[in-house]
Structure 1
Amino acid sequence: MYEARKTNQVIREMEIYNMEILWISECRWNGQGMIRHASGATICFSGQESGHYRGVALIINKKITKTLIDWEPINARIIRARFNSKYTKLTIIQCYAPTEDHCDEDKDTFYSTLEETVRKTPKHDVMVVMGDMNAKIGINNTGRERVMGKEGLGKMMNDNGERFADFCMENDLIIGGSIFKHKDIHKETWVSPTGKTKNQIDHITINRKWRTSLQDVKAKRGADVGSDHHLLASQIKLKLRKTSNKKPEILFTTQRLRDPVTRNIFEINLKNSFEVLEELPTEDIESGWTKFKQAFKETSSLVLGQKKKAWKTWMTSKSWNLIEERKKLKQEILSRKENFMRDNTYKRKNKQVKKSVKEDKQQFFEEQAKEAEKSSQQRRSRYITVYKITKSLIGSYQINSSSTVKGKDGTRITKQEEVSKRWKEHFQVYKRQSLT
């Protein structure tokens, strides 16, 4: 996701596959925070302080953003988020485990931190631990039948596989990729650059108490963002619920009133609604205002329609067409049972995508700079226009203040209620210091 506009491509695939929550291993973003994407999706990430490697993230669909209760960036390999649902809470822990050739000390540290994160999870929650575990589990489940089936890929476990399976045994987690019967091509989650090695190293697990909620785990080879990993999708039967019952304000397409015909229809419908209201008895001012407002809303909905926010991006149709061509090319290569990562045609197409996206980005910033310069010379609207341009460039990617607030003990606070309380304490102390 560190490459120019790779995030746009990832979110587009997320929308195509109708995914509500998407978790990313090795996002390569620095720092920790929460951002709002132009599509309306929310991205929480946890990465290194410097150096674009490792890093984990989650992308939450706009429709279910309000189900997020809180989230916690543990380190550059682990991130946790908790969601509200109808019957219970859902906790998801996303991981990026050390590779097989890492030293034992790194692996021990990773699983020790992961164990601590799991222990903090409330016992009644549906808990899902998932991510790039770099673990080959194979088909031999002897001694581990309680948490593992025989539908894994390969014959042997590697060291990471042993550690991962033992971790699942200790925490009573079912390995989803080992219990659902699929073809091997739908179990493979990673392809080596040479194309000779295909492994199942990405995994999705769920606590055994909620095993029946996990409907399926399957690799989606059709998804393409130029990665050597396939999209691993799972279906969990759980109805998420908003943390707040406050309904968002409905916006209407008022621009249609500029058309004389539409404006005339709107006026006639509104006049008819008011005539009906005049005949109805009004008990008090409040009920009268409610009926008056309802008449406006019903007329606006009927004539104007609701305003729909479009996902605006500076990527041109040329770049999106190249991305679509690359995706089709990948599917064509896979249908021939060949490795797309070694195919020269795919490599060239991937380079074309990267080049085109970089050119789009450069062109966009140049156009915005020219528009800002032009607007600064105008007296009336210069500040408004420059502000809008600045906001369009950085506003959607501003780090949420809730991700950087810390308590008195130095621990990071992610719950909105606790963040507000902490800010109140801060300003009370600041006010007392100012008075003295």
Structure 2
Amino acid sequence: MDENGIATIDLELSRRGVDIVELQETRLAGTCTIKEANYTFFWIGRPPEESRIYGTGFAISNRPLCSSQTPSGVNDRISVLKVNTKQGTIFTVNAYAPTLAASSDDKDCFYHTLEDTIRKAFIWERVILLGDFNARIVEDDFSWPKCIGHFGVENGQRLIQLCCKNNLVVTSTLFPGKPHRKVSWCHPRSKTWHQLDFVITRSKHKEEFLNTRLYHSADCDSDHNLVVSKLRLEPRTYHNQIKASKKIDVSNLRNQKLQKCYHQSLDKKIAAINTHTSPEEHWEQLSSSIHNAGSEAFGLKKRQDPDWYSQSRELLEPALDRKRAAMLKYQSRATRQTFADYHSAKSEAQRTVRL
């Protein structure tokens, strides 16, 4: 994930209407937060002086942001986010597992840390485990009836053992669907599709999941496709949002005509204030009279939008649309020509974003 491309990811996620997104292999240094038009991005990675590998992150919609706690990192492969809902707290774990080429010690260490993280959740909390596990789930619900539904894909022994020990279930195996909506990654050489990304929850809470499926058309500039789960939950708001008063355009203060209008308007408003009230109410009337008189005379300050994406939307969106069309064409028919077209459209979009 590139810091300059976060705005394009923000637009794509808003098109899908998802509330919380977990990101893996971000390859961004340190811990940081960026707020875009629709989502706030958090990422947890290695220190800046170390190599930029692994890393996890979250993209939380600005609507339920007040219901979410600040994400915390366990290490550069595992992070945790808590979300408050009316049904209870959701303990979400974001995981990026070692690949098949990693040593057995690295894999065992990862799953031991992951299991310790899951067990930190209270018994009444809803645990949702999401991420890129680089594992494939077998079509064997007879051997693992509590962990797998009737619609599994392939094999991943360590992941199945983790689910069995902690009473977890893989939600993507609970729902029927077309095979291409269950696979998230295509092998670059064999062109074979695999399901490596999963959404996992406690067995007692699986009824709250309405569906889990893949979206191949989501263009998030990743070789993995977007996995989306729909839940029957409602966020809980703990902080009431207080609307800030609009700012007065102070650049017009030197205009003598406007100053005269301001004094006249202020005298009228002060004369209309009811003095037989409490000090708090009297101050509220006085402050609102001063602000209203100033806004009427000098006008309100126009908000300057610092979002570079909004300013360049007309230039960026055509390039992103061409990139998305080339990606879908390559996914439907993987040939050298379609790959070259997709690579060219992707490079063009990257050059346009950097302008």
TM-score greater than 0.5 by the shorter chain: yes
| Conserved 8 A contact 2:169-2:206 | yes
1:42 aligns with: 40
TM-score between the two structures when normalised by the length of structure 2? 0.82
Match of residue 345 from structure 2: 349
Q: Name the structure, 1 or 2, with higher relative contact order (CA <8 Å, separation 6+).
A: 1
Distance (Å, rounded) in 2 between the aligned partners of 1:99 and 1:124:
33
Instruction: Give the structure 2 partner of residue 179 of structure 1.
Output: 174
Inter-partner Cα distance in structure 2 for 1:173 and 1:298: 58
CA–CA distance in structure 1, aligned partners of residues 335 and 42 of structure 2: 31
Equivalent residue, structure 1, for 2:88: 88
Closer, same or farther in 2 for the Cα pair 1:139/1:308, shift >3 Å?
Answer: farther
Cα distance in 2 between the residues matched to 1:41 and 1:277: 45
Contact preservation (8 Å) 1:41, 1:61: yes
Given that residues 93 and 130 in structure 1 are in contact (C-alpha distance below 8 angstroms), is that contact kept between their aligned partners in structure 2?
yes
CA shift in 2, pair 1:111/1:253, >3 Å:
same
Corresponding letter in the other structure for 1:164: L
Structure 2 CA distance, aligned partners of 1:325 and 1:311?
Answer: 26
Is contact 1:206-1:214 (8 Å) kept? no
Match of 1:125 in 2: 125
Amino acid at match of 2:114: L
Q: Displacement, 1:254?
A: 5.3
Amino acid at match of 1:347: H
Supply the distance in 1 between the matched residues of 2:225 and 2:303 (Cα, whole angstroms): 32
How many Å separate the matches in 1 of 2:301 and 2:186? 45
Q: Deviations over 1:338-381 (max 9, x none)?
A: 238962211111121223333x1xxxxxxxxxxxxxxxxxxxxx
Are residue 330 (structure 1) and residue 324 (structure 2) matched? no
Kindly provide the CA deviation profile for residues 275-327 of structure 1, in whole angstroms up to 9, marking residues without a partner as x: 9976x794323234445667899998xxx999888560268443332112111
Q: Secondary structure of 1:152's partner?
A: coil
Q: How does 1:408-423 map onto structure 2 within 5 Å?
A: none
Query: 1:348 and 1:70, CA in 2 relative to 1: closer, same or farther beyond 3 A?
Result: closer
Give the Cα–Cα distance (whole angstroms) in 2 for the partners of residues 237 and 307 of structure 1.
41
SS in structure 1 at match of 2:343: helix
Q: Helix, strand or coil: the match of 2:69?
A: strand
Q: Report the RMSD for the aligned CA atoms in angstroms.
A: 3.4
State whether structure 2 residue 203 is matched by structure 1 residue 205.
no
* 1:37-436 paired onto structure 2 within 5 Å: 37-39=35-37, 41-49=39-47, 50-153=50-153, 156-157=154-155, 161-194=156-189, 196-245=191-240, 247-252=241-246, 282-290=276-284, 310=305, 312-313=307-308, 316=312, 317-334=314-331, 337-339=332-334, 343-358=339-354, 360=355
Instruction: Give the Cα separation in 2 of the matches to 1:43 and 1:192.
Output: 29
Residue ranges of structure 1 left out of the alignment (5+ in a row): 361-436
Q: Secondary structure at the match of 2:83?
A: strand
Query: How far, CA to CA, are the matches of 1:93 and 1:101 in structure 2?
Result: 24
1:10 partnered with 2:5:
no
Tell me the CA shift for residue 58 of structure 1: 0.8
The offset of 1:188, in angstroms, is 1.4
Aligned letter for 1:17?
Answer: R
Q: Which amino acid aligns with 1:219?
A: L
> 2: CA distance between counterparts of 1:19 and 1:292?
44
Q: Deviations over 1:203-254 (max 9, x none)?
A: 0011122212222111111111332111111112222223434x33334375
Q: How has the CA–CA distance of structure 1 residues 4 and 238 changed in structure 2, closer, same or farther, with 3 Å as cutoff?
A: closer
Structure 2 counterpart SS, 1:321: helix
Give per-residue Cα distances to partners, 1:78-103, cap 9 Å, x unaligned. Answer: 01111222231111100011112322
Q: Which runs of 5+ in 2 are unaligned?
A: 253-257
